[in-house]
Amino acid sequence: MKDVKKNEKKIECPIEKSISLIGSKWTLMIIRTLYLNKKPMHFNEILKDLNPISSKTLSSKLKELAKSEIIVRNVIPDTPVKIQYSLTEKGKDLNGMMNAMASWSLKWNI
């Protein structure tokens, strides 16, 4: 008896596992923005930086990334309450990938 649902392929390859989690344009762009900014950011700051992303897409992608524990949503008890997003240790550990992408782009004059 199969332990996976029909049409659900069990992923064994570690590269494919990473791609399934972070392999989309806006997901990578959010990680990049938080990585380069070095400090927590408000929703509107990320939104502005990723122009022309829509609020709806950004909101959905931030939720996905928080669920994957790549980013964390911090609630600052202020009036009004402030929400900030930052990379977790797991998210910060994507610096190897970010650096590899930067090096490749510079080397090949992308």
**Binding residues for a copy of itself (CB under 8 A):** 7, 9, 13-21, 23-25, 28-29, 32, 35-36, 51-52, 90, 93-94, 96-108, 110
Q: Which CB, 72 or 98, lies closer to a copy of itself?
A: 98
CB of 17 to a copy of itself, least distance (A): 5
CA nearest to 98, candidates 2, 14, 42, 33: 33
d(CA 34, CA 41): 7
Q: Are 58 and 47 in contact (CB under 8 A)?
A: yes
Least Å distance between CB 57 and a copy of itself? 14
